[in-house]
Amino acid sequence: KAGVTQTPRYLIKTRGQQVTLSCSPISGHRSVSWYQQTPGQGLQFLFEYFSETQRNKGNFPGRFSGRQFSNSRSEMNVSTLELGDSALYLCASSPRTSGNNEQFFGPGTRLTVL
């Protein structure tokens, strides 16, 4: 099976702009989670989508949003970018079978906000 793919891999934006990142999960996985990774805060959970519904949400402002399509592909959007949004954004898919919390991470999108 192909792994989790994320596009784009690198992105440079300026403050105030908005950005959309895309994630294609492993075939058959219905759960997609998004994380932000920074040297200062580590790996932080943004949200999880399952069957097109947001199942869970972390402690991020409303500028961070996401959605999931019927084919399980997911996008996350960050509006009104701030310098502090510079980070590696990771997407992870999971089969979400009972008791199995294994997550398969994609390579990430490196976002730089200038």
Partner 1 sequence: GQQVMQIPQYQHVQEGEDFTTYCNSSTTLSNIQWYKQRPGGHPVFLIQLVKSGEVKKQKRLTFQFGEAKKNSSLHITATQTTDVGTYFCAGPFPHASGGSYIPTFGRGTSLIVHP
- Which residues of the chain form contacts with partner 1 (CB under 8 A)? 33, 35, 42-45, 56-59, 90, 92, 99-108
- Min dist. Cβ of residue 14 to partner 1 (A): 25
Name beta bridge partners: 48: 33, 56
Beta carbon nearer to partner 1, 34 or 72:
34
Joined tokens for residue 83? 């310098």
- Min dist. Cβ of residue 67 to partner 1 (A): 19
- Min dist. Cβ of residue 44 to partner 1 (A): 8
Beta carbon nearer to partner 1, 70 or 101:
101
Beta carbon nearer to partner 1, 25 or 106:
106
The answer to whether 25 touches 70, Cβ cutoff 8 Å, is no
Beta carbon nearer to partner 1, 59 or 70:
59
Strand bridging mode 10-13 / 109-113? parallel
Joined tokens for residue 102? 């294994």
SS (H, E, C) 70-95: CCCCEEEEECCCCHHHCEEEEEEEEC
